[in-house]
Amino acid sequence: MELGALKDIVIIFALSTFVNLIFNKIKVPAIIGYLITGIIAGPHLLKLIHSPHDVELMAEIGVILLMFTIGLEFSLNHLMKIRRTVFIGGFIQLSLTAIITMFLARFYSLGWASSLFIGFLTALSSTAVVLKVLQEKSEISSYTGRTIVGILIFQDIILVPLLLFTPLLGGGTANLPREFLMLALKTIFIIAFIYAGNRWLFPKLLHAVAMTRSQELFMMCIILILLSVALLTYEIGMSLAFGAFIAGLMISESEYSHNAFSDLMPFKDVFSSFFFVSIGMLLDLQFVIENPLLIIITVFLVILIKTIVSGFTAFVLGHTFTGTVVIGLSLAQVGEFSFILARIGLQNNILNDFYYQIFLAVAVISMALSPFMIKASKPFATLAGTLPIPKFLIDGLSPVPEIEIPLMENHIVIIGKDSRALNLAKMIRHMNMHFVSIIFDPMLAKKQQDKGDMAIYGDAIDDPTLKKAFVHTAGMVIVSVGDLIGAMAIVEKVRLLNKHVFILVRTKHVTDIEEIYKLGANQVIPEEFETAIDFFERILTRYLIPRIDIDTTVARIRDRNYGVFRDEKNDTRFSMLHDIPNIEITAYTVETGSPLVGKSLSETKLRTRFGVTILALKRGEIIFEHPDSSFRIEPGDIAYIIGKPEAISIASEQFLKSASDIIRF
């Protein structure tokens, strides 16, 4: 690599680090920082970059890696499942946007050919921006996320015929029947190649490489597959990015696809940053300053048209009002592949320099606004939903059936749509306990209803949804949404509706605990910390540490790390526990063979020996509250005891013939 290119890389990294450090402090997405870095360092402002072609090459690598990881996340089977979204939804969105924009472009004094070309440029959305934000929000696998990705995939596929069609708009004299015949042959070849690679070639190759147990060799093999397929598609007239997507699609069915995804993620993030920097470098700020009103109006019109058309497409596909708003705003920007088409249009005299600069300004500004629009889409949909909107728009064309939920008390409410919430529902169902699920994904809610669950589709931040699940009479609410802001809003709403309910919350980081406790949660489970505890327990078990010592140590570790927030809980039923720190109530089943069987409470000497007290006993369906000292314990009794966590852990052996599960309240 030339020294000049190396200097450019250093400048880009230095500026990106500085800009994103500031933006991170004010909670602005990193994508905006990269765009601003390109504007600052580009040829139209400070002119710090001397080898723009090298930057463009690295940007192309970023797009290739991005498309490859998208292909990895989508198996062929899954792609066939969403073919209705890809082909019907994608066609509606692209054709309507192109037609409406074409007629609007006529008011900008453009000819029909140029207007149609602008329509195609506008119709494409940014795969890079949208997927990056969706990945950060863990929304790709959601119902709305699958629809967004399906439409984006159609746009990526349609790029190939658009590249063919563009020279014709410029007056090219290509043999049209011959070109379409070649395109059909290429399509057949690609489909056959994907099938063969996915079914036979790549799974066997990756298995053979993985058996060598060499991470370096595995990585080299993945990169070889990626670049080889990308170059192959490029040689037959398709884009490198589309070839990268095909390569990912062929590997997706392999059991090693997750390894490939995790290995390439750091490279993808680094090279993708160059793509956004290169886009920022194209924008001429002087042109923007000279034509501010024209650009502002055009940006507004593009976002408005794309939001309405994409939202209409989502409605046709069966989404609710919330889904239409989220999908509409998520696809309201101009895409990165539009830059490729725009350059070809400039070369073929379809666009002149003036309209090319308008396009660049609109594209960059819409991409810069996109992360904010996506993140604001759900709150905006919630706010708009309060307006007098017709019910068929709110529910969509295929609404989730309204199930009749009988009046429930002291039941469990599970809020969330992730695998943890669904697995928890399965376990609770197995124990024949009463529960209601609130699920944000309508298709997932339907599936759970088909299984016989009391499942409600809705946003748990809304009071009507919470009241429909009888949160105000529930005994426990479990919040497993993965998003800190969403979890905090839900906890606050639940606590306002029910002052006494026990609220259990899953969060990602230990640092989130304090904020959630302040809003009224009773117990917060941080994923990163509990995973470490699980490893630690397995390590101690492997080294044959006694179970009592393991339980005592783990209880102390939990207390030291997030037990300090216990006194901030707002559960008035256990106000005594707020005044006495580090106290828990635990239930144990007295097993046959337990040393407590047949003894009275006074004979067990649990309080004097271990520092724990039996508060109540359950025998069958009868609960004995405040049993006296002469009450005798029988096998199968459930004893509710109170004490410090380490004391309970030591006393647990008295109730069990062998180790058993602990239910903490």
319 — phi, psi (to 5°)? Answer: -80, 155
Give the pLDDT band of residue 580 (cuts 50, 70, 90): low
Give me the pLDDT at residue 77, please.
65
Give me the pLDDT at residue 658, please.
54
Give me the pLDDT at residue 403, please.
72
Give me the pLDDT at residue 562, please.
58
Identify the weakest region by mean pLDDT among 17-31, 166-180, 337-351, 357-371: 166-180
Query: What's the Rg (C-alpha) of the chain?
Result: 30
Q: What is the pLDDT of residues 139-177, one digit of tens each?
A: 776 778 888 988 988 887 787 678 767 777 766 555 667
The percentage of the chain sitting over the pLDDT mark of 90, rounded to a whole number, equals 16
Mean pLDDT in residue range 239-264: 76
**Residue pair 497/471 in contact by the 8 Å Cβ criterion:** yes
Give the pLDDT band of residue 578 (cuts 50, 70, 90): very low
The overall pTM is greater than 0.85: no
Per-residue tokens: 427? 């376990």
Q: Which CATH superfamily, name and number, covers 583-664? A: Regulator of K+ conductance, C-terminal domain (3.30.70.1450)
Give me the pLDDT at residue 566, please.
43
Give the residue, 660 or 529, on which the prediction is more confident: 529
Q: What is the pLDDT of residues 297-329, one digit of tens each?
A: 999 999 999 999 999 999 988 888 888 999 999
Identify the weakest region by mean pLDDT among 28-32, 125-129, 517-521, 594-598: 28-32
Q: How many residues make up the chain in this entry? A: 665
Give me the pLDDT at residue 75, please.
61
Give the pLDDT band of residue 96 (cuts 50, 70, 90): very high
Give me the pLDDT at residue 435, please.
92
Give the residue, 412 or 644, on which the prediction is more confident: 412
Q: What is the pLDDT of residues 419-474, one digit of tens each?
A: 788 888 888 888 888 899 998 777 778 788 888 888 888 778 878 888 889 999 99
Mean pLDDT in residue range 43-56: 77
Q: What does the domain layout of the chain look like in residue ranges? A: 3-172+262-380, 412-563, 583-664
Q: How far is CA 601 from CA 1, 425, 618, 625, in A?
A: 81, 36, 14, 13
Give me the pLDDT at residue 633, please.
92
Q: What is the pLDDT of residues 475-518, one digit of tens each?
A: 999 998 877 777 888 999 999 999 889 999 988 777 778 788 88
Q: Which of 343, 355, 364 is nearest to 108 (CA)?
A: 355
Q: Can you name the residues that pair with 415 across neighbouring β-strands?
A: 438, 479
- Kindly compute the dihedral angle of the four CA atoms of residues 428, 431, 435, 439, in this order, to the nearest 10 degrees: 30
**Residue pair 345/320 in contact by the 8 Å Cβ criterion:** no
Give me the pLDDT at residue 124, please.
93
**Which range, 174-188, 253-267, 268-282, 353-367, has the best average confidence (pLDDT)?**
353-367
Q: Can you name the residues that pair with 663 across neighbouring β-strands?
A: 587
Give me the pLDDT at residue 303, please.
96
Residue 555's identity, in one-letter code, is A
Q: Can you name the residues that pair with 206 across neighbouring β-strands?
A: none
Give me the pLDDT at residue 570, please.
41
| Domain 412-563 is found in CATH 3.20.20.80 | no
Give me the pLDDT at residue 73, please.
67
* pLDDT at position 267 over 80: no
Give me the pLDDT at residue 561, please.
62
* pLDDT at position 565 over 60: no
DSSP label at residue 333: S
Q: What's the half-sphere exposure (Cβ side, CA atoms, 13 Å) at 615?
A: 9
Q: What is the pLDDT of residues 111-126, one digit of tens each?
A: 888 999 999 999 999 8
Give me the pLDDT at residue 659, please.
43
Q: Which residues of 240-263 are buried (b: 16+ CB within 10 A; e: fewer)?
A: bbbbbbbbbbbbbbbebbebbbee
* pLDDT at position 1 over 60: no
Give the pLDDT band of residue 567 (cuts 50, 70, 90): very low
Q: What is the pLDDT of residues 58-79, one digit of tens each?
A: 777 777 877 787 677 666 666 6
Query: In 244-310, which ranges are E strands?
Result: none
Q: Can you name the residues that pair with 427 across neighbouring β-strands?
A: none
CATH of domain 3-172+262-380: 1.20.1530.20
Average pLDDT in the chain: 81
